């Protein structure tokens, strides 16, 4: 190639040129308003992603609840350990 810049520019123009065919494109309709809460989106992929997001939110909620219980039990165990360590120190120094 005698001019690599021209080749790169040609490739960029070819890639970014507008195309009249798009995936999942239908006939032009009125601008879509935000779907009402509780209504389903007409696109199957969007519905799938919404379900995945809902499952992830539920998982995060359950993990947060379990972590709260774990932290509470860990604090109780730490208090017992600290009391036992204190008692052991009292027995040695007393």
**Which of 59 and 20 is assigned the larger pLDDT?**
59
Supply the pLDDT for residue 84: 95
Contact 9, 3 (CB under 8 A): no
For the chain, which residues make up each domain, given as ranges? 44-94
How is residue 79 written in tokens? 């208090």
Alpha carbon 58 to its chain's center:
12
Tens-digit pLDDT profile for residues 23-82: 555 555 555 555 566 678 899 999 999 999 999 999 999 999 999 999 999 999 999 999
How is residue 9 written in tokens? 């520019």
Contact 47, 41 (CB under 8 A): yes
**Which of 28 and 5 is assigned the larger pLDDT?**
5
Q: How many CB atoms lie within 10 A of CB 20?
A: 5
Euclidean distance between the first and the last CA atom of the chain, given in angstroms as a whole number = 91
């Amino acid at each position: 190639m005698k001019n690599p810049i021209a080749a790169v520019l040609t490739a960029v123009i070819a890639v970014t040129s507008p195309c009249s065919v798009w995936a999942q494109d239908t006939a032009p309709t009125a601008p879509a308003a935000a779907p009402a809460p509780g209504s389903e989106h007409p696109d199957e992929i969007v519905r799938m992603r919404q379900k995945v997001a809902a499952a992830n939110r539920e998982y995060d909620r359950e993990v947060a609840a379990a972590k709260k219980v774990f932290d509470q039990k860990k604090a109780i165990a730490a208090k017992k350990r600290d009391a036992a360590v204190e008692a052991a120190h009292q027995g040695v120094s007393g």
